[in-house]
Amino acid sequence: MTAPAPDRPRRLLVVVDAPSLLHRSHHARAHTGTTDRAGRPAWALHGMLGQILEVIDGFAPDAVVFGLDDRRASERADLYPAYKAGRAEKDPALVEQLDRAGAMLDALGLATLTPPGLEADDVSASAATWAGAHGWDCVIVTSDRDAFAHISDHTRVLRLINGGVSASPLLTPARLVAMYGVPAEHYLEFAALRGDASDNLPGVSGIGEKTAATLLTQVGSMRTVWADVDRNEGRGVASTLDSWAAETGARRIGRTVVRRLTADGARERYDFNVRIMSGRDDLDLGLTPDVPGTPGLLPLDAHRIATVVGFLGVEATTSLAIRVLSTDPASAASGSDR
Q: Write out pLDDT tens, residues 221-278.
A: 999 999 999 999 999 999 999 999 999 999 999 999 999 999 999 999 999 999 999 9
- Other CB atoms closer than 10 Å to residue 181's CB: what's the count? 16
| pLDDT at position 59 over 50 | yes
The pLDDT, as a whole number, for residue 333 is 63
The pLDDT, as a whole number, for residue 102 is 97
Q: Peptide bond preceding 329: is omega within 30 degrees of 0, i.e. cis?
A: no
When computed from its CA atoms, the radius of gyration of the chain, rounded to whole angstroms, is 22
| Rounded-to-integer distance, Cα 263 and Cα 244, Å | 23
pLDDT digits (tens, 9 = 90+) for 186-212: 999 999 999 999 999 999 999 999 999
| Rounded-to-integer distance, Cα 247 and Cα 258, Å | 20
Weakest-pLDDT range from 2-6, 103-107, 293-297: 2-6
What residue type is assigned to position 267 of the chain? Answer: R
| pLDDT at position 141 over 70 | yes
pLDDT digits (tens, 9 = 90+) for 174-185: 999 999 999 999
The pLDDT, as a whole number, for residue 196 is 95
3-state secondary structure of 262: coil
| pLDDT at position 322 over 90 | yes
| Rounded-to-integer distance, Cα 58 and Cα 164, Å | 13
- The model's confidence at residue 5, banded by pLDDT at 50, 70 and 90, is very low
Q: Encode 221-250: b = buried (16+ Cβ within 10 Å), e = exposed.
A: ebeebbebbeeeebebbbebbbebbeeeee
The pLDDT, as a whole number, for residue 334 is 47
The pLDDT, as a whole number, for residue 331 is 78
The pLDDT, as a whole number, for residue 43 is 96
| Rounded-to-integer distance, Cα 91 and Cα 242, Å | 51
User: Which numeric CATH code is attached to 184-277?
Assistant: 1.10.150.20
The pLDDT, as a whole number, for residue 336 is 41
| pLDDT at position 7 over 70 | no
What integer best gives the mean pLDDT of the chain? 93
- The model's confidence at residue 88, banded by pLDDT at 50, 70 and 90, is confident
Instruction: Please state, for a pLDDT cut of 70, what percent of the chain lies above it.
Output: 96
User: Which numeric CATH code is attached to 12-173+281-332?
Assistant: 3.40.50.1010
Cα of first residue to Cα of last residue in the chain, in angstroms, is 22
pLDDT digits (tens, 9 = 90+) for 92-136: 999 999 999 999 999 999 999 999 999 999 999 999 999 999 999
- The model's confidence at residue 56, banded by pLDDT at 50, 70 and 90, is very high
For 228, the enclosing helix (H) or strand (E) is helix 222-232
| Rounded-to-integer distance, Cα 175 and Cα 221, Å | 20
Question: Rounded to 5 degrees, what are φ and ψ at 196?
Answer: -145, 100
Question: Which of 110, 133, 112 is CA-nearest to residue 297?
Answer: 110
Which residues belong to CATH 3.40.50.1010 in the chain?
12-173+281-332
The pLDDT, as a whole number, for residue 319 is 95
Question: Which of 80, 69, 165, 164 is CA-nearest to residue 120?
Answer: 69
Inter-residue long-range contacts of 190-198, CB under 8 Å, 24+ positions, other chains counted: 190/216, 191/145, 191/146, 191/148, 191/149, 191/273, 191/277, 192/222, 192/270, 192/273, 192/274, 192/277, 193/222, 193/270, 193/273, 195/273, 196/145, 196/146, 196/273, 196/277, 198/84, 198/87
| pLDDT at position 337 over 90 | no
Which residues belong to CATH 1.10.150.20 in the chain?
184-277
The pLDDT, as a whole number, for residue 330 is 75
Instruction: Please state, for a pLDDT cut of 90, what percent of the chain lies above it.
Output: 89
| pLDDT at position 19 over 60 | yes
The pLDDT, as a whole number, for residue 335 is 45
Whether the CA torsion 178, 125, 60, 29 is positive or negative: it is: negative
